[in-house]
Chain A
Amino acid sequence: MRGSVNTTKDDISNNLSYNGTKMLYSVLNENGNYDIYEAFLKGADWTGSVNFSTNINLNQTTFCIV
Protein backbone atom coordinates (compact mmCIF):
# COMPACT_ATOMS: atom_id res chain seq x y z
CA MET A 1 0.00 0.00 0.00
CA ARG A 2 1.34 3.44 -0.91
CA GLY A 3 2.15 5.96 1.79
CA SER A 4 3.72 5.95 5.21
CA VAL A 5 1.51 3.50 7.05
CA ASN A 6 3.39 0.20 6.83
CA THR A 7 6.40 -0.32 9.07
CA THR A 8 8.80 -3.18 9.74
CA LYS A 9 6.49 -4.23 12.58
CA ASP A 10 2.97 -5.64 12.50
CA ASP A 11 0.47 -3.20 10.94
CA ILE A 12 -3.18 -4.24 10.86
CA SER A 13 -6.48 -2.51 10.26
CA ASN A 14 -10.13 -3.23 9.66
CA ASN A 15 -11.51 0.21 10.37
CA LEU A 16 -12.17 2.41 7.37
CA SER A 17 -14.43 5.42 6.89
CA TYR A 18 -17.33 4.85 4.47
CA ASN A 19 -15.74 6.96 1.74
CA GLY A 20 -12.36 5.32 2.28
CA THR A 21 -10.38 8.44 3.16
CA LYS A 22 -9.70 7.76 6.85
CA MET A 23 -8.30 4.64 8.48
CA LEU A 24 -7.70 3.53 12.03
CA TYR A 25 -4.99 0.92 12.31
CA SER A 26 -2.85 -0.78 14.94
CA VAL A 27 0.92 -1.02 15.06
CA LEU A 28 3.01 -3.29 17.26
CA ASN A 29 5.12 -1.13 19.59
CA GLU A 30 8.45 -1.81 21.26
CA ASN A 31 6.72 -3.19 24.35
CA GLY A 32 5.02 -5.91 22.36
CA ASN A 33 1.62 -4.20 22.54
CA TYR A 34 -0.45 -2.62 19.80
CA ASP A 35 -1.10 1.14 19.56
CA ILE A 36 -3.89 2.72 17.53
CA TYR A 37 -3.02 5.21 14.78
CA GLU A 38 -5.09 7.31 12.39
CA ALA A 39 -4.17 7.87 8.73
CA PHE A 40 -5.69 9.93 5.92
CA LEU A 41 -5.81 9.22 2.20
CA LYS A 42 -4.32 12.10 0.20
CA GLY A 43 -4.49 11.31 -3.50
CA ALA A 44 -3.18 7.76 -3.76
CA ASP A 45 -1.04 7.88 -0.60
CA TRP A 46 -1.92 7.24 3.04
CA THR A 47 -0.30 9.99 5.07
CA GLY A 48 -0.40 11.88 8.33
CA SER A 49 -0.33 8.88 10.60
CA VAL A 50 -1.16 10.04 14.12
CA ASN A 51 -0.68 7.99 17.26
CA PHE A 52 -3.67 8.41 19.54
CA SER A 53 -3.08 9.88 22.95
CA THR A 54 -2.17 7.80 25.99
CA ASN A 55 -5.80 8.07 27.06
CA ILE A 56 -6.57 5.53 24.34
CA ASN A 57 -3.25 3.78 23.81
CA LEU A 58 -2.72 2.22 27.22
CA ASN A 59 0.33 0.22 28.20
CA GLN A 60 -1.31 -2.88 26.81
CA THR A 61 -2.58 -4.18 23.50
CA THR A 62 -5.28 -1.94 22.01
CA PHE A 63 -7.22 -2.69 18.87
CA CYS A 64 -9.84 -0.61 17.13
CA ILE A 65 -13.45 -1.44 17.98
CA VAL A 66 -16.21 0.02 15.86
Chain B
Amino acid sequence: MILMTNFFTMLKTVRGGTGGYDIFVSGPVVKRNREYSMPTRVNEVSSAFNDGPIYLHPDGKTMYFASEGFNSMGGYDIFMSKKKQGIWSAPINMGYPINTPYDDYFFAMTANGKYAYIASNRAGGKGGFDIYKVTFWGPEKKPALATQDYLLASIAKPIQDPELAGEVKVAASINLTVFKGITIDNLTRKPVEAMIDITDNATGKVIETFTTNSATGKFLISLNAGGNYGIAVRADGYLFHSENFDIPSGADYNMVNKTIELKNIKCGSKIALRNVFLIPVNRQSDLNLILNWTVW
Protein backbone atom coordinates (compact mmCIF):
# COMPACT_ATOMS: atom_id res chain seq x y z
CA MET B 1 0.00 0.00 0.00
CA ILE B 2 1.38 3.38 -0.98
CA LEU B 3 0.41 6.76 0.34
CA MET B 4 1.53 9.97 -1.34
CA THR B 5 1.04 13.46 -0.01
CA ASN B 6 1.30 16.46 -2.27
CA PHE B 7 3.75 14.49 -4.39
CA PHE B 8 6.38 15.33 -1.78
CA THR B 9 6.57 12.22 0.36
CA MET B 10 5.98 8.60 -0.40
CA LEU B 11 5.60 5.94 2.25
CA LYS B 12 5.55 2.35 1.19
CA THR B 13 5.57 -1.11 2.74
CA VAL B 14 8.10 -3.50 1.23
CA ARG B 15 8.90 -7.06 2.22
CA GLY B 16 12.38 -7.48 3.61
CA GLY B 17 14.72 -5.63 5.89
CA THR B 18 14.01 -6.23 9.55
CA GLY B 19 11.44 -8.93 8.77
CA GLY B 20 8.05 -9.10 7.07
CA TYR B 21 6.87 -5.88 5.46
CA ASP B 22 8.68 -2.70 6.47
CA ILE B 23 7.91 0.98 5.95
CA PHE B 24 9.99 2.87 3.43
CA VAL B 25 10.08 6.56 2.55
CA SER B 26 11.01 8.30 -0.65
CA GLY B 27 11.03 11.93 -1.76
CA PRO B 28 11.41 13.68 -5.09
CA VAL B 29 14.96 14.18 -6.28
CA VAL B 30 13.97 17.63 -7.48
CA LYS B 31 10.81 19.13 -5.98
CA ARG B 32 9.52 20.46 -9.26
CA ASN B 33 9.37 17.09 -10.98
CA ARG B 34 8.06 13.69 -9.93
CA GLU B 35 11.22 11.65 -10.07
CA TYR B 36 11.57 9.91 -6.74
CA SER B 37 14.68 8.81 -4.92
CA MET B 38 15.39 5.21 -3.95
CA PRO B 39 13.18 4.37 -0.94
CA THR B 40 14.92 3.99 2.39
CA ARG B 41 13.55 2.06 5.35
CA VAL B 42 12.16 4.09 8.25
CA ASN B 43 13.82 2.15 11.03
CA GLU B 44 11.91 3.91 13.82
CA VAL B 45 8.60 2.41 12.64
CA SER B 46 9.80 -0.90 11.21
CA SER B 47 9.61 -3.91 13.51
CA ALA B 48 10.65 -7.54 13.17
CA PHE B 49 7.09 -8.33 12.07
CA ASN B 50 4.79 -6.99 9.35
CA ASP B 51 4.41 -3.19 9.35
CA GLY B 52 1.84 -1.26 7.33
CA PRO B 53 -0.47 -0.13 5.86
CA ILE B 54 0.32 3.51 6.52
CA TYR B 55 -1.73 6.68 6.79
CA LEU B 56 -0.01 10.07 6.73
CA HIS B 57 -2.08 12.89 8.25
CA PRO B 58 -2.53 16.01 6.06
CA ASP B 59 -0.23 17.90 8.44
CA GLY B 60 2.60 15.80 6.96
CA LYS B 61 4.09 15.23 10.41
CA THR B 62 1.92 12.50 11.89
CA MET B 63 1.97 8.94 10.68
CA TYR B 64 -0.53 6.26 11.66
CA PHE B 65 0.43 2.74 10.73
CA ALA B 66 -0.51 -0.82 11.54
CA SER B 67 1.99 -3.32 12.84
CA GLU B 68 2.11 -6.82 14.22
CA GLY B 69 5.22 -5.88 16.16
CA PHE B 70 6.24 -3.41 18.87
CA ASN B 71 3.82 -3.72 21.82
CA SER B 72 0.85 -4.98 19.82
CA MET B 73 -1.91 -6.44 22.00
CA GLY B 74 -2.51 -9.11 19.34
CA GLY B 75 -2.60 -9.26 15.54
CA TYR B 76 -2.28 -5.89 13.86
CA ASP B 77 -2.54 -2.80 16.07
CA ILE B 78 -2.55 0.84 15.04
CA PHE B 79 0.37 3.00 16.11
CA MET B 80 1.16 6.70 15.84
CA SER B 81 4.50 8.35 15.20
CA LYS B 82 5.32 12.05 14.89
CA LYS B 83 8.14 13.54 12.85
CA LYS B 84 10.30 16.02 14.72
CA GLN B 85 13.32 17.58 13.08
CA GLY B 86 13.20 14.98 10.34
CA ILE B 87 13.11 11.96 12.67
CA TRP B 88 10.06 9.80 13.35
CA SER B 89 9.36 9.27 17.04
CA ALA B 90 9.03 5.85 18.67
CA PRO B 91 5.62 4.33 17.85
CA ILE B 92 2.81 4.85 20.35
CA ASN B 93 0.13 2.18 20.55
CA MET B 94 -3.26 3.89 20.11
CA GLY B 95 -4.65 1.59 22.82
CA TYR B 96 -8.11 0.16 23.46
CA PRO B 97 -10.80 0.55 22.08
CA ILE B 98 -9.04 1.44 18.82
CA ASN B 99 -6.82 -1.63 19.19
CA THR B 100 -7.98 -5.07 20.28
CA PRO B 101 -6.44 -8.57 20.30
CA TYR B 102 -7.90 -8.92 16.79
CA ASP B 103 -6.51 -7.27 13.64
CA ASP B 104 -7.03 -3.51 13.63
CA TYR B 105 -5.62 -1.53 10.73
CA PHE B 106 -6.35 0.75 7.74
CA PHE B 107 -6.54 3.94 9.76
CA ALA B 108 -7.84 7.16 8.14
CA MET B 109 -8.50 10.50 9.87
CA THR B 110 -10.34 13.71 9.01
CA ALA B 111 -8.13 16.79 8.69
CA ASN B 112 -9.52 18.37 11.87
CA GLY B 113 -8.51 15.30 13.88
CA LYS B 114 -11.99 14.73 15.35
CA TYR B 115 -12.86 11.49 13.60
CA ALA B 116 -11.06 8.48 12.22
CA TYR B 117 -12.04 5.22 10.60
CA ILE B 118 -10.42 1.84 11.08
CA ALA B 119 -10.96 -1.66 9.73
CA SER B 120 -11.16 -4.47 12.26
CA ASN B 121 -12.26 -8.09 12.42
CA ARG B 122 -13.11 -7.82 16.14
CA ALA B 123 -16.08 -9.64 17.59
CA GLY B 124 -19.48 -8.05 17.15
CA GLY B 125 -19.17 -7.00 13.53
CA LYS B 126 -21.18 -8.00 10.48
CA GLY B 127 -18.55 -10.52 9.36
CA GLY B 128 -14.96 -10.41 8.16
CA PHE B 129 -13.45 -6.95 8.44
CA ASP B 130 -15.81 -4.06 9.16
CA ILE B 131 -15.16 -0.32 9.15
CA TYR B 132 -15.49 1.42 12.51
CA LYS B 133 -15.80 5.12 13.23
CA VAL B 134 -13.60 6.57 15.98
CA THR B 135 -14.47 9.85 17.72
CA PHE B 136 -11.68 11.68 19.52
CA TRP B 137 -13.02 13.51 22.55
CA GLY B 138 -9.88 15.52 23.17
CA PRO B 139 -8.43 16.07 26.63
CA GLU B 140 -10.33 14.67 29.57
CA LYS B 141 -13.03 17.06 30.78
CA LYS B 142 -13.84 17.79 34.38
CA PRO B 143 -17.32 16.71 35.43
CA ALA B 144 -19.79 19.58 35.52
CA LEU B 145 -21.76 18.07 38.39
CA ALA B 146 -20.83 16.85 41.82
CA THR B 147 -20.64 13.10 42.48
CA GLN B 148 -23.90 13.15 44.42
CA ASP B 149 -25.70 14.78 41.51
CA TYR B 150 -24.34 12.11 39.19
CA LEU B 151 -25.61 9.34 41.45
CA LEU B 152 -29.07 10.89 41.70
CA ALA B 153 -29.23 11.45 37.96
CA SER B 154 -28.16 7.90 37.16
CA ILE B 155 -30.89 6.50 39.39
CA ALA B 156 -33.59 8.83 38.15
CA LYS B 157 -32.69 8.47 34.45
CA PRO B 158 -30.27 5.64 33.65
CA ILE B 159 -28.31 6.01 30.44
CA GLN B 160 -30.07 4.00 27.72
CA ASP B 161 -28.13 4.82 24.58
CA PRO B 162 -24.33 4.72 24.76
CA GLU B 163 -23.98 6.09 21.24
CA LEU B 164 -21.86 9.20 20.95
CA ALA B 165 -23.31 12.49 19.82
CA GLY B 166 -22.86 13.40 16.19
CA GLU B 167 -20.92 16.57 16.89
CA VAL B 168 -17.99 16.61 19.28
CA LYS B 169 -15.88 19.63 20.05
CA VAL B 170 -12.24 18.76 20.52
CA ALA B 171 -10.38 21.20 22.69
CA ALA B 172 -6.98 20.74 21.09
CA SER B 173 -6.49 23.02 18.09
CA ILE B 174 -4.66 21.67 15.09
CA ASN B 175 -4.62 24.93 13.11
CA LEU B 176 -4.40 23.21 9.81
CA THR B 177 -5.65 24.72 6.57
CA VAL B 178 -6.02 22.79 3.38
CA PHE B 179 -5.31 25.10 0.46
CA LYS B 180 -6.71 23.69 -2.75
CA GLY B 181 -7.12 25.28 -6.13
CA ILE B 182 -6.91 25.09 -9.87
CA THR B 183 -4.94 26.95 -12.54
CA ILE B 184 -6.91 27.71 -15.70
CA ASP B 185 -6.67 29.78 -18.88
CA ASN B 186 -8.69 32.95 -18.27
CA LEU B 187 -10.27 32.83 -21.74
CA THR B 188 -10.77 29.18 -22.59
CA ARG B 189 -11.30 28.16 -18.92
CA LYS B 190 -9.25 25.04 -19.63
CA PRO B 191 -6.82 23.72 -17.01
CA VAL B 192 -3.20 24.79 -17.27
CA GLU B 193 -0.21 22.99 -15.80
CA ALA B 194 1.75 25.56 -13.79
CA MET B 195 4.60 25.76 -11.32
CA ILE B 196 3.72 27.31 -7.97
CA ASP B 197 5.88 28.73 -5.20
CA ILE B 198 4.31 29.39 -1.78
CA THR B 199 6.22 31.90 0.35
CA ASP B 200 5.78 32.53 4.06
CA ASN B 201 5.79 36.34 4.06
CA ALA B 202 6.82 36.45 7.73
CA THR B 203 10.15 34.83 6.97
CA GLY B 204 10.42 35.48 3.24
CA LYS B 205 11.21 31.82 2.66
CA VAL B 206 9.68 29.64 -0.04
CA ILE B 207 7.99 26.84 1.89
CA GLU B 208 6.41 24.85 -0.92
CA THR B 209 7.25 24.41 -4.60
CA PHE B 210 5.18 22.15 -6.76
CA THR B 211 3.54 21.66 -10.16
CA THR B 212 -0.21 21.57 -10.63
CA ASN B 213 -1.80 18.49 -12.16
CA SER B 214 -1.07 18.44 -15.90
CA ALA B 215 -4.52 17.10 -16.80
CA THR B 216 -6.76 18.96 -14.36
CA GLY B 217 -4.66 21.96 -13.26
CA LYS B 218 -5.58 21.16 -9.66
CA PHE B 219 -3.34 21.35 -6.61
CA LEU B 220 -3.70 20.76 -2.89
CA ILE B 221 -1.38 21.52 0.02
CA SER B 222 -1.72 22.02 3.77
CA LEU B 223 -0.59 25.24 5.46
CA ASN B 224 -0.40 26.42 9.04
CA ALA B 225 -3.23 28.77 9.96
CA GLY B 226 -2.64 32.32 11.12
CA GLY B 227 -0.11 33.28 8.47
CA ASN B 228 0.28 35.55 5.49
CA TYR B 229 1.49 33.82 2.37
CA GLY B 230 2.50 34.76 -1.14
CA ILE B 231 1.73 32.62 -4.15
CA ALA B 232 3.71 32.87 -7.39
CA VAL B 233 2.41 30.99 -10.42
CA ARG B 234 4.34 30.41 -13.64
CA ALA B 235 3.32 28.57 -16.79
CA ASP B 236 4.77 28.52 -20.28
CA GLY B 237 2.97 30.98 -22.56
CA TYR B 238 1.20 32.75 -19.71
CA LEU B 239 1.80 35.90 -17.72
CA PHE B 240 3.36 35.52 -14.30
CA HIS B 241 0.72 35.59 -11.55
CA SER B 242 1.35 36.59 -7.96
CA GLU B 243 -0.71 37.60 -4.94
CA ASN B 244 -0.78 37.50 -1.17
CA PHE B 245 -3.38 35.80 0.96
CA ASP B 246 -4.11 35.33 4.65
CA ILE B 247 -4.96 32.06 6.36
CA PRO B 248 -7.12 32.99 9.35
CA SER B 249 -6.25 31.47 12.70
CA GLY B 250 -8.57 30.24 15.38
CA ALA B 251 -10.36 27.46 13.56
CA ASP B 252 -9.40 23.84 14.05
CA TYR B 253 -9.61 23.22 10.35
CA ASN B 254 -10.12 25.39 7.29
CA MET B 255 -10.30 24.78 3.62
CA VAL B 256 -9.41 27.54 1.17
CA ASN B 257 -10.47 27.02 -2.42
CA LYS B 258 -8.93 29.23 -5.10
CA THR B 259 -9.18 29.48 -8.86
CA ILE B 260 -6.13 31.10 -10.47
CA GLU B 261 -6.81 32.50 -13.91
CA LEU B 262 -3.68 32.76 -16.04
CA LYS B 263 -3.51 35.26 -18.89
CA ASN B 264 -2.11 34.35 -22.27
CA ILE B 265 1.00 36.31 -23.20
CA LYS B 266 0.21 38.81 -25.92
CA CYS B 267 1.96 41.99 -26.98
CA GLY B 268 0.62 44.83 -24.85
CA SER B 269 -0.68 42.61 -22.07
CA LYS B 270 -0.67 44.14 -18.60
CA ILE B 271 0.04 42.42 -15.33
CA ALA B 272 -0.52 43.38 -11.69
CA LEU B 273 2.21 42.15 -9.33
CA ARG B 274 0.50 41.92 -5.95
CA ASN B 275 3.27 40.70 -3.71
CA VAL B 276 6.38 42.44 -4.94
CA PHE B 277 8.86 43.49 -2.26
CA LEU B 278 11.43 46.08 -3.17
CA ILE B 279 14.97 45.03 -2.30
CA PRO B 280 18.31 46.51 -3.36
CA VAL B 281 19.62 44.84 -6.50
CA ASN B 282 23.36 44.53 -6.24
CA ARG B 283 24.15 41.79 -8.66
CA GLN B 284 23.59 41.51 -12.41
CA SER B 285 22.17 37.99 -11.85
CA ASP B 286 19.46 39.41 -9.58
CA LEU B 287 18.60 42.02 -12.16
CA ASN B 288 18.40 39.38 -14.89
CA LEU B 289 16.07 37.34 -12.70
CA ILE B 290 13.70 40.28 -12.37
CA LEU B 291 13.86 41.05 -16.08
CA ASN B 292 13.05 37.45 -16.92
CA TRP B 293 9.72 37.79 -15.11
CA THR B 294 8.84 41.06 -16.75
CA VAL B 295 6.93 41.23 -20.00
CA TRP B 296 7.53 44.45 -21.85
Give the complex CA separation of A28 and B114 in angstroms: 28
Contact A1 B4 (CB under 8 A): no
Contact B110 A6 (CB under 8 A): no
Contact A16 B129 (CB under 8 A): no
Residues of B within 8 A of A13 (CB): 106, 108, 117, 119, 131
Chain B at the A interface: mostly helix, strand, loop or mixed?
Answer: strand
Chain A 13-25 interface mask (CB, 8 Å, partner B; 1/0):
1111011100101
Given contacts A12-B119, A65-B1, A66-B3, contact A18 B128 (CB under 8 A): no
Chain A at the B interface: mostly helix, strand, loop or mixed?
Answer: loop
* Range for the number of chain B residues in contact with chain A: 20 to 34
Give the complex CA separation of A60 and B255 in angstroms: 36
Whether, in the assembled complex, B225 has its beta carbon less than 8 Å from a beta carbon of chain A, the answer is no
Contact B110 A14 (CB under 8 A): no
Give the complex CA separation of A19 and B111 in angstroms: 6
Q: Supply 5 further A-B pairs (C-beta < 8 A) apart from A11-B131, A43-B166.
A: A1-B131, A12-B131, A14-B107, A18-B58, A28-B128
Q: 21 interchain pairs (CB within 8 A)?
A: A1-B131, A1-B132, A7-B126, A7-B128, A8-B127, A8-B128, A11-B129, A12-B105, A12-B129, A13-B117, A14-B117, A14-B119, A18-B110, A18-B111, A19-B110, A19-B253, A20-B111, A20-B112, A23-B117, A66-B3, A66-B4
